Structure 1
């Protein structure tokens, strides 16, 4: 049975201590506590942009609705922003369908998007931490809670063994959370720019456009940097196939070689899922094949 998805549906009402209490039960909480705290701090910064919608410790109906819609439609917002010549607040406004008479400011729209990224970073870490504990429970017949409470040397060794086996998954979770937190910080900085009374609207548009252009360029540079790596992986796979290896074998073989390194000179590797996706994209494998 799949665990119910952890989703922070009411970001204006998030209390950091409640989130921490939820996460403290996880075996590897201490390993991720700093990133969780960073995400909670960003959510708090975002809430401060929305404080004009807070009366008697209650958020306005409008603010709750907009934050929920930004969370639900954040992927659509980013896609529209990439295609559109509009500035980011207009892209958010158009996507969530707010009336033109809305009292929400440009900075609040952007802060809502920053809050969404911070929430998704927390959700990403929760998914990994809960899945890791589920694997621990499956590997040990005893109660996981009792083993954690006992904190025996045997349990610590077992935890490290499972972490080693799933190192690529932990790296993926860390990198995904780091990317989301970086994007959240970028949006929060942009929200501060739009909130500034010292900048004209034209200046805000110019800064937003320059930031978006820089972001698009860096994204293109990252894609270019991985192009040779992906070509090398596909060439390696084709050699294995021509030498009689089956499609079922090649992903595992490549994962055990330097071809799977994310970048030359580093130790971090691509996961088997990432390698398989590269081979599908390069038409070495097809989606229906199960390596």
Structure 2
């Protein structure tokens, strides 16, 4: 089973850059993100996410090089991110390495610290993905008007080009709300999980042979304090969901998923060979939702990857 891990394509594109490896290709993504017309307005958001990404990948460094299993492990965890997240959500924070090993294999050579750091890496990458692709799709939609004219405007009159983008941004303000909310969720989770990885690393370095120190005890107490708020939030959310199962937000989310699924079936029926990029673009053009939101619900409905 382990020999097959990491052999499938990553199926990830950020700001027009195909990402084949989370360890090697994100420098190119960062450069592409900096070229986005509205980058300066979201530079702090991107800096936070990329800082988390760089810190997370550093956990795989051994003597200045990435561990042999780093690429396959990160690729497999990204591909299986949805079921891993689903299992982890209903588990204790300290169970994350065990949850991941259900999918990678109990005897996977990666340390618990590296697996936890990779989960943080994946959350941060998704944060960059939703924000960067919203900005990228915003610019790309302009080219549907007149490719040559818009490109000439971009090169010769950046101020006018920016005004055009701002106008399109206002027209599609709902997409911005989706992208910002998803970014905040992914980036916040990435920061918390990276802290968890640091705690695991401290436990790894601890001298557990000393009678006056227990690494496992330290880790357990630290995690209880660090994630007490998260557990409380989950409990409150669950209580609200049980008492109000038909809230407006839940109903709207369900309706959006059903709407996107119906539209996807229609597009695939009309063109069985439609690619992932074409399918997402078609649904965005139909006004279903932003590209990040469309991709999320297409994955949920098993329409992606294709």
Say whether the 8 Å CA contact 1:124–1:176 is kept in structure 2.
yes
RMSD: 3.4
**1:222 deviation in Å?**
5.1
CA distance in 1, matches of 2:230, 2:20: 28
When normalised by structure 2's length, the TM-score is 0.64
2:276 maps to which residue? none
Select which of 224, 230, 241 maps to 2:247.
230
Please say if 1:200 is aligned against 2:215: yes
Give the equivalent residue in structure 2 for 1:13.
Answer: 24
User: Which residue of 51, 56, 76 maps to 2:61?
Assistant: 51
2:68 is equivalent to residue 61 of structure 1: yes
Q: Partner of 2:36 in structure 1?
A: 26
Gap regions ≥5 residues in structure 1 = 235-270, 275-291
After the TM superposition, which of the residue ranges 222-231 and 113-122 deviates more from structure 2?
A: 222-231
Counterpart check, 1:39 vs 2:54:
no
Between structure 1 and structure 2, the one with the greater Rg is: 1
Between the aligned partners of 1:21 and 1:143, the Cα distance in structure 2 is 25
In the other structure, the counterpart of 1:161 is 167
- Is the contact made by 1:114 and 1:187 (CA closer than 8 Å) also made in structure 2? yes
Q: TM-score, normalised to structure 1's length?
A: 0.67
The structural deviation recorded for 1:64 is: 1.5
Give me the whole-angstrom Cα distance separating, in 1, the residues matched to 2:147 and 2:35.
19
| Deviation (angstroms), 1:42 | 0.8
Q: Which aligned runs of 4 or more in structure 1 are off by greater than 4 angstroms?
A: 209-213, 225-229, 231-234, 271-274
Deviation at 1:12, TM superposition (A): 2.0
- The answer for the alignment partner of 1:218 in structure 2 is 233
- For residues 222 and 149 of structure 1, do their structure 2 counterparts lie closer, same or farther at Cα, with a shift above 3 Å needed? farther
Matched residue count: 230
The Cα offsets for residues 253-284 of structure 1, whole Å up to 9 and x where unpaired, read as xxxxxxxxxxxxxxxxxx9869xxxxxxxxxx
Deviations 1:85-119 (A, max 9, x none): 6721111122222526x2x2221111010111111
The question of whether the paired residues in 2 share the 8 Å contact of 1:107 and 1:194 is answered with yes
Report how far residue 39 of structure 1 moved.
Answer: 1.5
Q: Confirm whether residue 135 of structure 1 aligns to residue 145 of structure 2.
A: no
